[in-house]
Amino acid sequence: MSDPAIPTPAPEATPSGRRRALVTGASSGIGAAYARRLAADDWDLVLVARRVPELEALAGELEERRGVGAEVLAADLTDPDGLGRVEQRVRDDPALELLVNNAGFGTTGPFHESDLARQTQMLRLNVEALVRLTHAALGRMVGNARGEIVNVASGIGLMPAPFFATYGATKAFVVSFSEALAEEVAGTGVSVQVLCPGLTRTEFQRVADTDISSLPDFVWQDAEEVVEASLEGLRRGTLVVVPGLKNRLPLAFRGVVGRTLVRKATGFAGRRGWLRSL
């Protein structure tokens, strides 16, 4: 812990004088929405994901429309080399003031029938990459007495999730890890937020091989609304952000009915295939 009597040096500014944020999973969905919103707020960006054309198109758009710096850092975060390069980038960048650990995916279906390689790949992305990038950023941020980390979990991380067992468990890890870290760094000038979105219109459902697009409009949010809630949470210093009243209300209700009933109800829906297609 730093000695409060010793003034901490200000972090090095970027050549542009703007703050810099690194967003993982920036090639689509919530990550791309973060990048657009942060660029509108005059942040320089480092955009991380695997799909280079999507990242380059986004970087071009941000540079042209917003006049900010946008660097493409293509990497597969489940690959040791890819993750190592991003870790290095985070560790070596004294101007990095915001890390958004957003890249993630889910699968649905009975765990015992699942492809185990895909499950362990999910653990590497949703858990290992997030932990390692947080570690790469946090020491320097605490040293600078300045910085913010946003870890994207899910509402599912706050409840038992049959038929999303591994995904739900990775997101429960992200919630617990982030809550604990936030307390560890309290008073250092660094803040940690965990974002728990509900159903959000992105590529997530396609990747998870679910088709629940027929669910009514009112249950969905746009990625932009989710990001707005997260950034508002950063301004207010909210640790656990659940975007939208429609997502907060059922979670409050969950406290009343208890975890057992939520587990049984989700299990019932999953056994009837309702989580896969509606």
Residue 104 touching ligand NAP (CB under 6 A): yes
Residue 204 touching ligand NAP (CB under 6 A): yes
DSSP conformation letters of 184-220 = HTTTTTEEEEEE---SEESSHHHHTT-B-TTS-GGG-
Which of 50, 254, 263, 264 lies at the binding interface for ligand NAP (CB under 6 A)?
50
Binding range to ligand NAP, per CB under 6 A, among 2-10, 75-83, 142-150, 252-260 = 75-83
Residue 51 touching ligand NAP (CB under 6 A): yes
Interatomic CA distance for residues 170 and 153, integer angstroms: 8
Which of 46, 47, 77, 142 lies at the binding interface for ligand NAP (CB under 6 A)?
77
Q: Residues touching ligand NAP: how many (CB under 6 A)?
A: 28
Residue 202 touching ligand NAP (CB under 6 A): yes
CB of 25 closer than 8 Å to CB of 104: yes
Residue type for position 248: R
Residue 144 touching ligand NAP (CB under 6 A): no
Owner of token pair 């990550």? 31
Is 167 assigned a catalytic role? yes
CB of 151 closer than 8 Å to CB of 193: yes
Residue 177 touching ligand NAP (CB under 6 A): no
Burial (CB count within 10 angstroms: exposed 0-12, middle 13-18, buried 19+), residue 225: middle
Residue 266 touching ligand NAP (CB under 6 A): no
Tokens of residue 264, six digits: 């049984």
Nearest distance, CB of residue 236 and ligand NAP, angstroms: 21
Residue 65 touching ligand NAP (CB under 6 A): no
Residue 102 touching ligand NAP (CB under 6 A): yes
- Angstrom CA distances, 203 to 28, 95, 167, 195, stand at 7, 31, 16, 18
Catalytic residues: 167
Binding site for ligand NAP (CB under 6 A): 25-31, 49-51, 76-78, 102-106, 125, 152, 154, 197, 199-200, 202-204, 207
